């Protein structure tokens, strides 16, 4: 038993555990539990019962997602498991740690997921820039294959399973699961229309489950230690642990595995060591670049999907980006808008044309050429680019810091116009 099922083996100063050491530390017990006689439906029930929610950002219940794969005893129907390891959300640095630090945990999680949905083949869609993770995972896959943990009849279950490690070439939209599937098929990574959902018709038209790295890393613990243990780890309606991170002007920025329900204050002031001398916390994005700003008055909120959602933001990736009093909020939001404009896939008009317009206005505000009319145009775009107006969630994600920032920092926006320059410069 452990209270850090995701990171108990991780010590980045010594590199990842080999298969032998991972096993000596209790690893592959989840996979052996399957070998002990668990049917796919048994695993599905356990994962459903655990309350595990997807850690990629949306927080969708994992067991429910899996249950949408059409039931069939026909083993000739190809099904796929795809790991979304395309970590590119601004300010997010959690999956990197898991992949570099304990790749066998991911592989074991993949075995459990693939067995449950009866997918004989999996693809890890890894960010192209993550060379260290690529080396770490490739080594672990080779070890697992050599030991017969991947390949034919794994763990004596009669189930065949193997993994392909695919490295991408840098494009944020590939984190959107249907865009990711197009990329894996060798196409431009534009998102697909839903329905059909990937669970029914995904990779090459076959039933496909796309799960985030951290989500899959939760599975070995659930099978090895049980649902009761898993639920005892969290509080506030969310179960298990989560990687929470802090970047910005704190004393000890980092990423830590903590139980759901820990307060924001404990993460920022406790683990993050509080603000650096001379800096005061002004606001923060709680879960990466696509979330609404929160402010210091929210510091005692517990970190759960529900509690952060009640504040009008999202827990999302759980990696917080801190805005201090010496940094221009308009500049920070402008930086994010530049990112979103650059990474728009260009498929739908509001996103392709709207985000560059927003980006241009921020550049004008920064250089003192902005007008009050420009600020109104930004406010209009919060609606034009919002949920339901675009093909996928990229542009609505951009409106989260934009809309909340326009409300919270109205004075700073106005000062850029009235002073014809950035007041922070």
Partner 1 sequence: MQQHIIASSSTNSRLRARDLTAEEIAEIEHELTLYPTKQAVGLEALKIVQRHQGWVSDESMLAIADYLSVPVSELEGVATFFNLIYRRPVGDKVILFCDSVSCWIMGCDKVKKRLSEHLGIDYGETSAGGEYTLIPVPCLGDCDKAPVMMVGEEMHRYLSSETIDSLLPLRNVGGSK
Cα gap 154→158, rounded to integer Å: 7
Please, is 208 exposed, middle or buried when counting C-beta atoms within 10 Å of its C-beta (0-12, 13-18, 19+)?
Answer: buried
Interface residue with partner 1 among 40, 128, 226, 237 (CB under 8 A) is 128
- The least distance separating partner 1 from the CB of residue 346, rounded to whole angstroms, comes to 9
- Using the rule CB under 8 A, is 319 a contact of partner 1? yes
User: Containing H/E element for 257?
Assistant: strand 254-259
Segment interacting with partner 1, rule: CB under 8 A, options 209-217, 250-258, 290-298, 391-399: 250-258
The residues pairing with 210 across neighbouring beta strands, listed in sequence order, are 82
Segment interacting with partner 1, rule: CB under 8 A, options 152-160, 187-195, 210-218, 366-374: 187-195
- Using the rule CB under 8 A, is 394 a contact of partner 1? no
Contact mark string toward partner 1, 282..311, x via CB under 8 A: -------x----------------------
- Using the rule CB under 8 A, is 331 a contact of partner 1? yes
- Using the rule CB under 8 A, is 271 a contact of partner 1? no
For residues 306 and 423, which CB has a smaller minimum distance to partner 1 in the complex?
423
Cα gap 332→193, rounded to integer Å: 32
- Using the rule CB under 8 A, is 343 a contact of partner 1? yes
Annotate 260-298 with DSSP letters as a single string: TT-BHHIIIIIIT-SBPTT--EEEEEBTBTTS--B-GGG
- Using the rule CB under 8 A, is 157 a contact of partner 1? no
- Using the rule CB under 8 A, is 93 a contact of partner 1? yes
- Using the rule CB under 8 A, is 321 a contact of partner 1? yes
Interface residue with partner 1 among 124, 322, 392, 406 (CB under 8 A) is 322
Cα gap 281→367, rounded to integer Å: 26
Contact yes or no for 43/50 (Cβ under 8 A): no
Segment interacting with partner 1, rule: CB under 8 A, options 39-47, 177-185, 213-221, 292-300: 177-185
Angle between helices 372-384 and 349-366 (to 10 degrees): 150
Task: Note the helical H segments in 25-76.
Answer: 29-35, 40-50, 62-67
Cα gap 250→277, rounded to integer Å: 9
Cα gap 337→359, rounded to integer Å: 5
Interface residue with partner 1 among 36, 151, 156, 170 (CB under 8 A) is 170
Cα gap 10→102, rounded to integer Å: 6
- Using the rule CB under 8 A, is 213 a contact of partner 1? no
Interface residue with partner 1 among 32, 166, 352, 369 (CB under 8 A) is 166
Give, as one character, the DSSP assignment of residue 409: T
For residues 255 and 348, which CB has a smaller minimum distance to partner 1 in the complex?
255
Interface residue with partner 1 among 79, 96, 282, 416 (CB under 8 A) is 96
- Using the rule CB under 8 A, is 132 a contact of partner 1? yes
- The least distance separating partner 1 from the CB of residue 380, rounded to whole angstroms, comes to 23
- Using the rule CB under 8 A, is 336 a contact of partner 1? yes
Interface residue with partner 1 among 18, 39, 77, 131 (CB under 8 A) is 131
- Using the rule CB under 8 A, is 57 a contact of partner 1? no
Interface residue with partner 1 among 152, 188, 373, 407 (CB under 8 A) is 188
Question: What beta strand segments (E) does 132-207 contain?
Answer: 162-167
CB-based burial, 137-150: b 16+ in 10 Å, e otherwise: bebbbebbeeeebb
Cα gap 139→101, rounded to integer Å: 12
* Of 90, 116, 93, 102, residue with least CA distance to 31: 116
- The footprint of partner 1 (CB under 8 A) covers 87-93, 95-96, 127-132, 164, 166-172, 183-189, 204, 245-249, 253-255, 289, 319, 321-324, 327, 331-332, 335-336, 339, 342-343, 345
């Amino acid at each position: 038993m452990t209270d850090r099922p995701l990171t108990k083996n991780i010590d980045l100063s010594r590199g990842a555990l080999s298969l032998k050491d991972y096993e000596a530390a209790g690893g592959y017990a989840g996979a052996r539990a399957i070998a002990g006689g668990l049917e796919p439906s048994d695993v599905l029930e356990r994962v459903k019962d655990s309350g595990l929610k997807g850690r990629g950002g949306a927080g969708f219940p994992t067991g429910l997602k899996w249950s949408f794969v059409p039931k069939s005893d026909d083993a000739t129907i190809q099904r796929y498991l795809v790991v979304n390891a395309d970590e590119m959300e601004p300010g997010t640095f959690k999956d990197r740690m898991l992949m570099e630090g304990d790749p066998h945990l991911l592989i074991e999680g993949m075995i459990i997921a693939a067995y449950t949905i009866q997918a004989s083949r999996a693809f890890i869609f890894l960010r192209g820039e993550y060379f260290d993770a690529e080396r770490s995972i490739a080594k672990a896959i080779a070890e697992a294959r050599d030991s017969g943990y991947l390949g034919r009849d794994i763990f004596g279950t009669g189930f065949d399973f193997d993994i392909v490690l695919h490295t991408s070439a840098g494009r944020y939209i590939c984190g959107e699961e249907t865009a990711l599937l197009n990329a894996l098929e060798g196409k431009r990574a534009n998102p697909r229309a839903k329905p059909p959902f990937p669970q029914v018709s995904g990779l090459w038209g076959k039933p496909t489950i796309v799960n985030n790295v951290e989500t899959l890393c939760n599975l070995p613990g659930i099978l090895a230690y049980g649902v009761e243990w898993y639920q005892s780890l969290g509080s506030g309606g969310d179960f298990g642990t989560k990687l929470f991170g802090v970047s910005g002007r704190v004393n000890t920025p980092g990423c830590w595995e903590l139980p759901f329900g820990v307060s924001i204050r404990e993460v920022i002031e406790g683990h993050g060591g509080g603000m650096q001398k001379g800096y005061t916390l002004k606001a923060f994005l709680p879960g990466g670049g696509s979330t609404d700003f929160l402010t210091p008055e929210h510091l005692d909120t517990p970190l759960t999907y529900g509690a952060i959602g009640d504040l009008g933001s999202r827990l999302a990736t759980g990696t917080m980006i801190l805005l201090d009093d010496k940094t221009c909020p308009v500049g920070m939001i402008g930086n994010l808008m530049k990112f979103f404009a650059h990474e728009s896939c260009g498929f739908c008009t509001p996103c392709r044309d709207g985000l560059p317009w927003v980006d241009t206005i921020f550049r004008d505000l920064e250089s003192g050429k902005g007008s009050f009319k420009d600020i109104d145009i930004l406010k209009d775009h919060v609606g034009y680019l919002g949920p339901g107006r675009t093909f996928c969630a990229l542009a609505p994600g951009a409106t989260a810091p934009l809309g909340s920032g326009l409300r919270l920092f109205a004075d700073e926006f106005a000062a850029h116009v009235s002073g014809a320059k950035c007041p922070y410069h």
